[in-house]
Structure 1
Amino acid sequence: MAATTKTFTYVVLDPNGQQKKGSMSGPNQAAVSEKLIELGYRPVSLEEKKASLAQTEINLGFLQRVGLKDLSVFCRQFATMINSGLPIVRALNIMSAQTTNPKLRDVLNDVGADVRGGQTLSQAMGKHKEFPPLFVSMTQAGEVAGQLDEVLLRVADTMEKELALKRKVTGAMTYPIVVLVLSILLTGAMLIFVVPQFQSLFDMVGGQLPLLTRMMVAASDVLRTKGIWVILVLVILGFIHSKVRKTDRYREIVSPIFLSIPVFGPLLQKVAIARFSRNFGSLLRAGVAVVTALDITKETLGQPVIEDALEPVIQAVREGESVSSRLVGNQWFPQMMVQMMAVGEETGNSDIMLEKVADYYDEEVDTIADNMASALEPLMIVVLGGIVGTMVVGMYLPMFTLMNQLQG
């Protein structure tokens, strides 16, 4: 658990004797003073910030999370410092002082303290869930090989490409989700505010209303008289879903459904293959053992069906078989990728081949996302128009009935 962090204002002298002012976070005054000295400054004064500002920063630390962008920026800057010859502890102190993410600052403070206590960087990072297993394993491999700065740059590249991949998928999904939400809001507004205006007309018509109109009137009554309960039930269901969706059982049921949806299914599959190729290749290039690399990569795919398909592959590799030989004929792994992996294994360039495969599927995802946006736009307009049209027809059907009665 991260130690309680306080914020201190300081006045220091730099190596040239110039006075500087600023603020820094740490567990106590002594730790902040030690950190400033390690950075090459001579403290003149050091005072704790009073209540509100410090408390606000602590609260933000609870709310904020460490994302891929934060980690990739940290990796790139930290690798540059290590390459420049800075000791790891001092580099961590600098990164902690300059990061704008309170949560990451607390984590780096803890990592720095553990490294000062004699632990390796990977051991210290492994204690915090903010650093994914892929990150920790590659860092450990870099420490063993004496190439920590190079490996950290590869980690940064991997995370930046993963972030770009997520943005492509999010961009493809955003438009239909926005249209769906707008459709629900528009339907609700019409049921609550428009349908009641026609109620007197419906009473004039008398007799049996058309089925569509009866359904609209019933839905309108429910929303107007029991709307609070409807909202409460939806909130409860949303809360239950947010908890259940994290369970393995839920993901095992939902994953095949999503992968079987036309257009969306192939997109999600290609995203998983791109992740597998990039993460597996990055781990192999860093020097991580094949079985360990497969175990770590399996947890990053985001699709339980494909993750399960890797289990027999991992077992076979433990027994001495190659990865590609067990992927032949697997429905989730394209044979083009399998053949390129086989060539990589034969030539000893598996990491390079996997990187090429990942780049190829990144482009495939990009193309599908663009085509999806172009295809869904007119489709969503038709859906939205259909909903509005159905509502209008339902409201005017009784009027046609009334006109027929008057003419008769």
Structure 2
Amino acid sequence: MAHFSYRGRNREGAEVNGRVEAASASMAASQLSSEGIIPVNIEQVTAAAGTEQSQKKSTQIRLFQKITLDELIMFSRQMFSLTKAGVPITRAMRGLANTVQNPLLSETLSQLADDLEKGNALSSAMRKHPKVFTELYVSIIHVGENTGQLDLAFRQMAGYLELEQQTVKQVKQATRYPMFVMIAITIAIAIINVFVIPAFKSVFDSFGGEMPWQTQVLIAISDFTVNWWHSMLAVLVLAIILFIRWKRSETGRLTWDRKKLKFPIVGPIFYRITLGRFSRTFSIVLKAGVPIEQGLSIVANAVGNSYIGQKVAGMRQGIERGESFTQTAHQAGMFSPLVMQMLAVGEETGRVDQMLEEAAGFYEQEVEYDLKNLTSAIEPILIIAIGAMVLVLALGVFLPLWELSTTING
């Protein structure tokens, strides 16, 4: 079949363009009309040119574009509505590919439609795009295909992603004020070191005399900063690059994920967020009908923390040895006694998925409460930091000026 590039208008009258695969130009026009697109111009694309153009466009898209959580939620919601209405999956993918604004998502949906037309399953096609669809997403879609409830699978993923989005927004909102204050303090210290203290130094030198040790320390730090700022900047950039490379390694990622759970103030929040994500994800997996061993493998890669993921993988090994879910959860040492009691009741009644969902709600409520109080918990630290900076300036800069003023007036 040949490839045709087209330009036309959709039902809303907006101009759209793209590519379709058909036996002839008339068949391509019929296909576009069935999708609600009125073609204005259709041209056949040669295989070589089409492949080269597609590869070039695909490379550019992958370098400069990414799919946001909002776009993935919207895609899931739209697919739920379309599949529930009985629209064929291939037609739904083609239609969404022509309407979405993100080029990367549009290209991904077009490739999914191409794979579906070749007879591949949707989950298999999605697995080829790991940067767009997580293992959890693919697994839920796979179960939905096998059970004939693909629409419900898309709805489940939309709900899960919306909860993830809500958590991300809460974290950003809670950390916005502390981050702004810390950036302001850093900028103020840099300005004082580079501009303010050197100006005072010339004043001190003109009057002569011995300066207090606090002033001498400030001047030494300022001189070092002014003379070696380029080296300090290079070291900082190098340290950031090395840290990122270390964190991306398996050992570094495991160590960092374990350490950040023990950070003062924010460590417990990270821990509860991870446990809430585990409970919510595992609940969705069990409700979808995924076997518990396979579900734990999926969740281990979806919790967003390799240290907790390692503990989840250990739970799977325990279940494979014949231990109960509650026993393996207790050995992992991740959950509070209250949640452990909830899981025990769920296992006894055969409703582990429901108990996990309630545990997820419990952790999410704790996270919401902690994030609301995060600013009030960090404020004393910020006030102390600002007070210390003012004290240093008072002792190191204004104290010599007071002494000089007393000497002149005395």
TM-score by length of 1: 0.87
**Root-mean-square deviation (Å):** 3.0
- In structure 1, what is the Cα distance between the partners aligned to 2:264 and 2:18? 51
What does residue 45 of structure 1 align with?
A: 41
SS at 2:176 equivalent: helix
1:303 maps to which residue?
Answer: 305
Amino acid at match of 1:189: I
AA aligned opposite 2:16: S
User: 1:137-176 counterparts in 2 under 5 A?
Assistant: 137-176=139-178
Structure 2 Cα separation of the partners of residues 364 and 109 of structure 1: 42
Which residue number corresponds to residue 382 of structure 2?
Answer: 380
Q: Which residue of 2 aligns with 1:98?
A: 99
Contact 1:269 1:332 in 2 (8 A): no
- Counterpart contact for 2:315–2:332, Cα < 8 Å: no
Change (3 A) 1:163 1:316: same
Larger deviation, residues 365-374 vs 231-240: 231-240
Alignment-mate amino acid for residue 107 of structure 1:
T
The answer on 1:259 being equivalent to 2:257 is no
Partner of 1:211: 213
Alignment match of 1:182 (pick from 175, 184, 190): 184
* C-alpha distance in 1 between matches for 2:406 and 2:39: 92
SS at match of 1:26: strand
1:239-388 matches, cutoff 5 A: 239-328=241-330, 330-388=332-390
Q: CA–CA distance in 1 between the matches of 2:142 and 2:57?
A: 35
- Distance in 2 (alpha carbons) for counterparts of 1:222 and 1:34: 73
Give the CA deviation at 1:199.
Answer: 1.0
Is the 1:272–1:302 contact (alpha carbons within 8 Å) kept by the matching residues of 2? yes
Cα distance in 1 for residues equivalent to 2:360 and 2:42: 50
| Runs of at least 5 residues in structure 2 that lack an aligned partner in the other structure | 45-53
Residue type of the alignment partner of 2:217? M
- Say which SS state the counterpart of residue 144 (structure 1) adopts: helix
Partner of 1:84: 85
* 1:266-296 residue CA offsets vs partner (Å, 9 max, x unmatched): 1111101100000000011111111111111
Q: CA separation in 2, counterparts of 1:7 and 1:227?
A: 55
Q: How many residues align structurally?
A: 394
Q: CA deviation at 1:363?
A: 0.9
Matched-pair contact (CA < 8 Å) for 1:205–1:398: no
Distance 1:207 1:305 in 2: 59
Question: Offset of 1:379 from its aligned partner?
Answer: 3.5
In the alignment, what sits opposite 1:51? Answer: none
Specify whether residues 67 and 7 from structure 1 end up closer, same or farther in structure 2 by C-alpha distance, changes over 3 A only. farther
Give 1:220 shift.
1.9
Change (3 A) 1:34 1:71: farther
Other-structure match for 2:32:
36
Question: Per the alignment, in what secondary structure is the counterpart of residue 85 of structure 1?
Answer: coil
Q: Which residue of 2 is the match for residue 25 of structure 1?
A: 18
SS at match of 1:98: coil
What is the CA–CA distance in structure 2 between the aligned matches of 1:128 and 1:32, rounded to whole Å? 27
Change in CA separation of 1:258 and 1:108 when aligned onto 2, cut-off 3 Å: same
Residues 37-56 of structure 1, C-alpha deviations (whole Å, 9 max, x = no match): 441445342369xxxxx999
Structure 1 gap segments, 5+ residues each: 49-53
Contact residue 58 and residue 102 of structure 1 kept, 8 A = no
Calculate percent identity across the aligned residue pairs. 30
